């Protein structure tokens, strides 16, 4: 492999909106793929239990219209993971329906691949009997009764399903997946393009899944250049830049440790990673290692309805405090 892999991420979560001009700027810089996450656990288990999406349907329509137009006219691939935020099979189908409706309207002909993440409950209960389901952290052992009570159960896939889809369907235009490890689609695309260093691929994906949040100030659209030994991230908003500090500090985002990030099949080890400031407004990193686990495991996520949420509103009357609110 001689040429670097180039990826554009328009936003950290599909449905949140982005500047289409910045998406096209990423393509102009050489991106061969548009890759974005669409999920989050920030809102807790409610979305999975109720089967509702993280954003309104119309918000997904708007984002996909720009993405599909760009992919069609510039012949770049699209990979979107964790469909709907809730990440079940039905929201993979919802995303595909949105894309198909837009393609019909625009008379586009594009090839789509769906990757589901739901796990059959009988398979889970059989796995409990075999003793191969273990707690993920300090939580109780999974009981069959909890499996039956769950509205939906998904598993966090790694890069392998994306690699397989790209290999088996080299002419694919768009891949939509259910629940996935956040960096998996970026890492999977890099592997498909010849990157063999999983540490670099996964570390880059860990940054890009949030868009340009690793920049300062935080923004949305990001562009990645990936070599086998390093990667660089460029925030596409002209007022933002990625520094060694901002890139390194992002390693703490949604992680108990900044140097070790467990995931499907292993962990991203950043103990030997270095961070630097590159040409222009870009920042880069090298030295991440993917530690392959002795046993390949994936994290299952399930939720059930147990009651109702309560929202309490409050107000501030202190004029001194109010005067200092930005």
Over 90: is that where the pLDDT of 95 sits? yes
Lowest mean pLDDT among 45-49, 55-59, 124-128: 45-49
pTM here is 0.91
% of the chain residues with pLDDT over 90? 82
Read off the pLDDT band of 1 (50, 70, 90): low
CA-closest candidate to residue 37, choices 50, 20, 21, 54? 54
pLDDT given for residue 308 in this prediction: 79
Q: What mean pLDDT comes out for the span 243-258?
A: 88
Q: What mean pLDDT comes out for the span 278-306?
A: 94
Average pLDDT, the chain: 94
pLDDT given for residue 145 in this prediction: 95
Measured in degrees and rounded to the nearest 5, phi and psi for residue 149 equal -80, -20
Q: Are 172 and 203 in contact (CB under 8 A)?
A: no
Over 90: is that where the pLDDT of 253 sits? no
Spatial distance between the Cα atoms of 214 and 200, rounded to a whole number of angstroms? 16
Over 70: is that where the pLDDT of 69 sits? yes
Over 80: is that where the pLDDT of 44 sits? no
% of the chain residues with pLDDT over 70? 99
pLDDT by residue (tens digit) across 198-235? Answer: 999 999 999 999 999 999 999 999 999 999 999 999 99
pLDDT by residue (tens digit) across 74-85? Answer: 999 999 999 987
Three-state secondary structure call for residue 100: helix
Q: Is the peptide bond before 217 cis (omega within 30 degrees of 0)?
A: yes
Read off the pLDDT band of 306 (50, 70, 90): confident
pLDDT given for residue 137 in this prediction: 83
- Give the distance from CA 85 to its chain's centroid: 10
Over 80: is that where the pLDDT of 40 sits? no
Residue with tokens 């796990």: 119
Q: What mean pLDDT comes out for the span 120-138?
A: 94
H/E segment holding residue 247 = helix 244-249
Spatial distance between the Cα atoms of 6 and 231, rounded to a whole number of angstroms? 10
Compare 41 and 269 and report the one with higher pLDDT: 269
Please classify residue 51 by burial: count the beta carbons closer than 10 Å to its beta carbon, then call 0-12 exposed, 13-18 middle and 19+ buried.
Answer: middle
Three-state secondary structure call for residue 311: coil
pLDDT given for residue 46 in this prediction: 82
pLDDT by residue (tens digit) across 163-211? Answer: 999 999 999 999 999 999 999 999 999 999 999 999 999 999 999 999 9
In the chain, where the domains are located? 5-303
Q: Which pairing describes strands 260-263 and 266-269: parallel, antiparallel, or unpaired?
A: antiparallel
Residue ranges with strand state E in 62-119: 77-81, 112-115
Residue with tokens 């890759």: 35
Over 80: is that where the pLDDT of 105 sits? yes
């Amino acid at each position: 492999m001689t040429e670097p892999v180039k990826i554009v991420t328009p936003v950290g979560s599909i449905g949140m909106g982005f500047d289409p001009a910045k998406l096209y700027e990423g393509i102009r810089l050489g991106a061969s793929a548009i890759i974005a996450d669409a999920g989050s656990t920030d809102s807790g288990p409610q979305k999975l239990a109720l089967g509702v999406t993280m954003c309104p349907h119309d918000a997904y329509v708007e984002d996909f219209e720009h993405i599909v137009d760009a992919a069609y006219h510039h012949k770049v691939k699209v990979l979107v993971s964790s469909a709907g935020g809730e990440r079940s099979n039905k929201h993979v189908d919802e995303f595909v329906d949105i894309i198909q409706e837009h393609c019909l309207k625009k008379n586009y002909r594009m090839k789509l691949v769906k990757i589901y993440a739901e796990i059959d409950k009988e398979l889970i209960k059989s796995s409990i009997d075999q003793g191969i389901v273990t707690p993920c952290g300090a939580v109780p052992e999974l009981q069959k009764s909890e499996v039956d009570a769950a509205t939906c159960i998904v598993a966090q896939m790694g890069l392998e399903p994306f690699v397989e889809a790209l290999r088996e369907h080299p002419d694919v235009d768009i891949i939509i997946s259910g629940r996935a490890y956040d960096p998996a689609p970026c890492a999977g695309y890099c592997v498909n393009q010849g990157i063999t260093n999983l540490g670099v691929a996964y570390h880059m994906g860990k940054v890009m899944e949030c868009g340009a949040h690793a920049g300062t100030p935080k923004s949305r659209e990001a562009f990645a250049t990936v070599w086998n030994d390093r990667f660089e991230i460029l925030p596409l908003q002209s007022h933002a830049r990625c520094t060694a500090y901002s890139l390194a500090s992002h390693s703490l985002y949604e992680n108990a440790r900044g140097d070790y990030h467990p995931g499907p099949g292993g962990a991203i080890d950043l103990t030997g990673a270095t961070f630097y400031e590159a040409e222009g407004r870009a920042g880069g990193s090298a030295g991440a290692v993917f530690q392959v686990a002795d046993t390949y495991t994936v994290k299952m996520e399930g939720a059930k309805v147990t009651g109702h949420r309560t929202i309490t509103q409050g107000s501030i009357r202190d004029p001194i405090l109010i005067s200092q609110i930005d």
